Structure 1
């Protein structure tokens, strides 16, 4: 009996050591906090926003995620939305860091950091009607110059969730009138799934989960004039997900290389990657809360399953465990990517 017990303990130890050998080491970002989001400016800077109670925190790295500065408080936003994927969002370029956050009443606010001075602005209203973003989902991306585009789920007009967006040409200090981009002809879009946005030059790409013909499939909206006008949505993948409910999982969109858009998302209990107009490719079974980033090396697909965070990267074409945790997010550097996530013992970051 003792020999059998020792053999099991040894087998478990060897298995754990094999996981550690194959998994990147993680850095503790904060001992307390929730729902971190990471962005990069395309070079070596890494920036992270997260929340704790009503506080919005920010930290950054200037060495590709090896070390991080002490976190600073951007603002105290009463009733900050910080639950079930609802979280502050961040995007960055060489001039500006932009953070968006929502309160539970459904209002979106921007905070702008001038990288020359290091100072943050006071909160700036982005949603131009009160209490319309009650689902708490918003995404942002940086474009050319000092342009940013924001997209969110919005109730305006008929109390049914629709895709609404706005752009800023001055780094988030002022915003365009909010624009309704899509409303399902059958009622609301899938309300509890976050939209995602990516920008390449004058082209803006938005993914969202639609509610159409009894299915909850990911669709793509495209603008060729910097977000001023969008075409009709395009369904992604050839399969469909018949579902009478919301899976609370929006997926992600990224620019794989010039002119090539890639998306990653969940359908039923499987994770897929797909390009517009092409069949989807299954990359994993099981999991949820999919995130995506891309660079010249390939795609970084992140998700959670069985209490752990998992990754497929250009170096690992089969899933690799990054450790225990949930609600991961990822951003690409030129030759790597940085993933952040939430655990019971704090917020972690690792370079992939």
Structure 2
């Protein structure tokens, strides 16, 4: 696409905050000095942030910038404690922009970039396709292609990327069997379908060729994010499943010995809910160690839990509850070592973080920032950068939505 932003047109509020992971929640509320600068055009709204750090240690932040009817997917990299000038990945006027189904950027093992966004495919409000674009140099992006080839005007989204060898594993929710993208006759206020949403996976080469595709589960929850990691055996996907009795607990599938395993429960909360809660899991891996966090509200009791595996997802330890009792979910997770993870979640209108150990030990809760429970505030993001953790979230409390970032130094 040969599109690089001219000048610094990024409407972000950048905050550098250094706090200790050992502080208690009431001691971590913005007591350190902050440096903040607002940049960009007041005519634009910014949202849908996503943070990612490559195996080479490069941290990327992608987001959508909306001006009138035009949407632009942009990204920047974290260099010398600041964000680079933004680069445009793609631009369009018929995109599906959604607070929970946000675009992402990732890298192949050789450093080539891949990104996706969502484009409307029909008149139905939830008829949209997954568009994928690639770049060898980070500046020039290929013409977008459609990830799936069913040709139906239905919902396709909630994508996860995970580099696997010299290819990219991609997981997504696929609505080709749902009967359309209008979402008529549904009692859920966000997503709903006449037929079942499915979970699919595929492999994409560095040249943008889809070399494999699979249906991984033929009935899953409609609109919760998927999460994918790669272990020594291959990809592992965790997602919100959906039974015929409307139990919507976490499901897991693994690639092992050349085949995908039968979908199994990650853990049985027995959460029965008629509509999609729009709250997906997050996972991370180091070798064959995996940590997974998820939200559940079984028995009308909202909780955030974490489990660890040291055998590539074949088995998991006992769930560890980490929330403070008033969580709304919206999770992220980073593994700090084989037996330790940092989890972020929202508790009412505050973004919190907590270090958790596979032994069951939980450390002090850290306050990252005040936020909003409104959908416009989206899903806070987190990534590890050296000995630091970077956070990003949408601040939609003013007339103009902006993206804020914060840095936390780990002990």
TM-score normalised over the length of structure 1:
0.83
Secondary structure at the aligned position of 1:340 is classed as strand
Q: Who is 1:140 aligned against?
A: 161
Q: Who is 1:60 aligned against?
A: 77
Is 1:199 aligned to residue 259 of structure 2?
no
Contact preservation (8 Å) 2:335, 2:342 = yes
**Residues paired across the two proteins, number:** 326
Q: Who is 2:115 aligned against?
A: 99
Contact preservation (8 Å) 1:86, 1:137 = yes
Pick aligned residue for 1:261 from 290, 314, 338: 290
Is 1:21 aligned to residue 38 of structure 2?
no
Matches within 5 A, 1:1-352: 19-21=29-31, 32-53=45-66, 54-63=71-80, 66-93=81-108, 94-105=110-121, 106-115=128-137, 118-131=139-152, 134=155, 136-145=157-166, 147-157=167-177, 159=179, 160-170=196-206, 173-184=208-219, 189-212=220-243, 213-224=245-256, 229-255=259-285, 257-268=286-297, 269-275=302-308, 276-284=315-323, 285=325, 286-296=327-337, 298-313=340-355, 317-325=363-371, 326=377, 327-344=379-396, 345-352=401-408
Contact preservation (8 Å) 1:310, 1:319 = yes
Secondary structure at the aligned position of 2:29 is classed as helix
The runs of 5 or more residues in structure 2 that have no matched partner are 1-24, 122-127, 180-195, 309-314, 372-376
The runs of 5 or more residues in structure 1 that have no matched partner are 1-14
Secondary structure at the aligned position of 2:115 is classed as strand
In structure 2, distance between residues paired with 1:26 and 1:178: 45
After TM superposition, the runs of 4+ consecutive aligned structure 1 residues lying more than 4 A away are: 15-18, 22-31
Distance 1:18 1:137, change over 3 A: closer
C-alpha displacement at 1:17, in angstroms? Answer: 7.9
In structure 1, distance between residues paired with 2:34 and 2:255: 37
C-alpha displacement at 1:250, in angstroms? Answer: 0.7
TM-score normalised over the length of structure 2:
0.72
C-alpha displacement at 1:22, in angstroms? Answer: 7.2
